[in-house]
Amino acid sequence: MKVYVGMSGGVDSSLTAALLVERGYDVTGVYMKNWTQDLPGMKCPWADDLADAKRVAVQLGIDFKVFDFEQEYRDKVVQYMIDEYKNGRTPNPDIMCNQEVKFKLFLDAAIEDGADMIATGHYARVENGALKQAVDTNKDQTYFLYRVTGEALKKTLFPLGEFTKPEVRTMAEERGLYTAGKKDSQGICFVGKIGIREFLSQYVKTVPGDIIDKKTGKKLGRHDGAIFYTLGQRHGLDVGGGLPYYVVGKDMDKNEVYVTTDLNDDSLWKQQVTLAGVHWINHAPADGSYHIRVRHRAPLAECQLTLGDDVQFTLRHPERAVTAGQSVVIYDGEVCLGGGIVV
């Protein structure tokens, strides 16, 4: 069985490759070259990451290749992200990267190149084509994987889904893997250490605007571009004094950001959620009782699902900061069924 492992140069994908070699697979390591551009204040670490991935491949005695997806990544992930922000939404590039790059382009290119299956270092499990949460529920990455197809998952291995992150570190050390001590990458995969704000300002021209108290209509201060603000956001408002303010709305046309100190403000809490762009990993579930997750690592929330012309949930308890453009992922017990984007 020939398996192509996506190796990023991090400890997770390094151990993934090592485990598959030990289990007798014919393993080839692949570095996906998605982003190489330096940005002001941040040197893109791709060359070091590539070298680390290759070092581990050499250590394991496996073949190693580089698949260049730079153009596609720019078109399908980065552009999508910028467009979403421009429209006042808060997208998740990792979800898009999995959908478009790792479990589509990479899978297809690997199969084309002679692989039977692919593997990645995601914390998730696949059983009979169903996506299940990782054993380490704290690390579980199924939230990022809900837009992957069942067909792709049938050709995918996630060896790390059975282990906790501390176990993974220990196993990497025991094997003396070159990357065993490497720090986990921070933030959005390609933006890395710089914030999304710095990244966006390279691509979107922003204009300062007013921060307005939703209740009183009073101008409280200025912001440097409405796209930088997310519903429910508390920090970084620079509106001084007293109780903390929360973002409760934006008007992209007027370039206004609305805030409140009232944590019970209706717009901060949602009980009814409507989803668009719904994707089911295998097939649509029946109406009934499920759990949803509104962001990575958010606790699972109980809800009632109603499938009509669109997909609607009624949450048992209202959830805070369920934002337009954000992904909601649906679970039936441990199984991740799919999800959609909040309207």
Partner 1 sequence: MQPFQRDHFFNPSSPYAPALAVRRAYQEAKDVIARAIGAKADELVMTAGATESINLAFGSIDGHVVTSAIEHHAVLRAAEQHGNSTIVPVGKKGVVSVEAIAAAITPATTLVSVALANNELGTVQPLSKLAEIIRKERQRRRDNNDLTPIYLHSDASQGVGQLDVNVARLGVDLLTLNAGKIYGPKQVGLLWAHSGVRLRAQVFGGGQERGLRSGTENVAGVVGFSVALERAVNGRKAEAERLRKLRDNLQEQLTSAYSNVIISGDQKRRLPGHLHVSFPGLDAERLIFLLEMENVLLATGSACAANKGTRSHVLTAIGMSDEGADGSLRISLGHLSDEVTVRQGGEAIIRAVAKERERMGR
- The residues annotated as belonging to the active site are 97, 189
Measured from the CB atom, is 61 or 242 closer to partner 1? 61
DSSP 183-246: PPP-SSTTTTTS-HHHHHHHHS----EEEEETTT--EEEEES-GGG--TT--SS----SSSPPE
> Judged by CB under 8 A, does residue 162 bind partner 1?
no
CB 7 within 8 A of CB 30: yes
Question: How many residues interact with partner 1 (rule CB under 8 A)?
Answer: 10
Cβ atoms of 17 and 64 within 8 Å: the answer is: no
Shortest Cβ 58–partner 1 spacing (Å):
4
How far is Cα 101 from Cα 295, in angstroms, rounded to an integer?
21
Reading the block at residue 131, the tokens are: 């996506």
Residues 59/178, Cβ–Cβ less than 8 Å = yes
User: With 0-12 CB in 10 A as exposed, 13-18 as middle and 19+ as buried, what is 40?
Assistant: exposed
35: amino acid identity, one letter: W
Residues 9-48 that bind partner 1 (CB under 8 A): 47
Shortest approach of partner 1 to residue 313 CB, angstroms? Answer: 47
Nearer to partner 1, 58 or 284 (CB): 58
Q: How far is the CB of 157 from partner 1 (least distance, A)?
A: 22
Task: Closer to partner 1 by CB, 59 or 312: give it.
Answer: 59
Instruction: Provide, rounded to whole angstroms, the least separation between the CB of residue 178 and partner 1.
Output: 8
Minimum gap (Å) between residue 77 Cβ and partner 1: 22
In which residue are the tokens 């003396």 written? 176
- Strand order across the 63-68 sheet: 63-68, 26-33, 2-6, 117-119, 156-157
CB 295 within 8 A of CB 326: yes
- Dist CA 163 CA 185 (whole Å): 19
Between 31 and 245, whose beta carbon lies closer to partner 1?
31
Shortest Cβ 43–partner 1 spacing (Å): 12
Ranges within 108-137 binding partner 1 (CB under 8 A): none
Residue with Cβ nearer partner 1 (52 or 136): 52
Closest approach, Cβ 97 to partner 1, in A, equals 22
How far apart CA 331 and CA 305 sit, in angstroms, is 11
In the bound state with partner 1, the residue whose beta carbon lies nearer, of 58 and 307, is: 58
Gap between the Cα atoms of 169 and 215, Å rounded: 50
Considering only residues 206-225, where is the footprint of partner 1 by CB under 8 A? none
User: Closest Cα partner for 179 from 265, 51, 63?
Assistant: 51
When the beta carbons of 10 and 340 are compared against partner 1, the nearer one is: 10
Question: Could you say which DSSP state residue 50 is in?
Answer: H
Return the half-sphere exposure (C-beta side, CA atoms, 13 A cut-off) of residue 294.
25
Residues 206, 74, 339, CA angle at the centre, nearest 5°? 90
Which residues from 42-81 bind partner 1, rule CB under 8 A?
47, 50-51, 54-55, 58-59, 61, 63-64
Q: Where along the sequence are the contacts to partner 1 (CB under 8 A)?
A: 47, 50-51, 54-55, 58-59, 61, 63-64
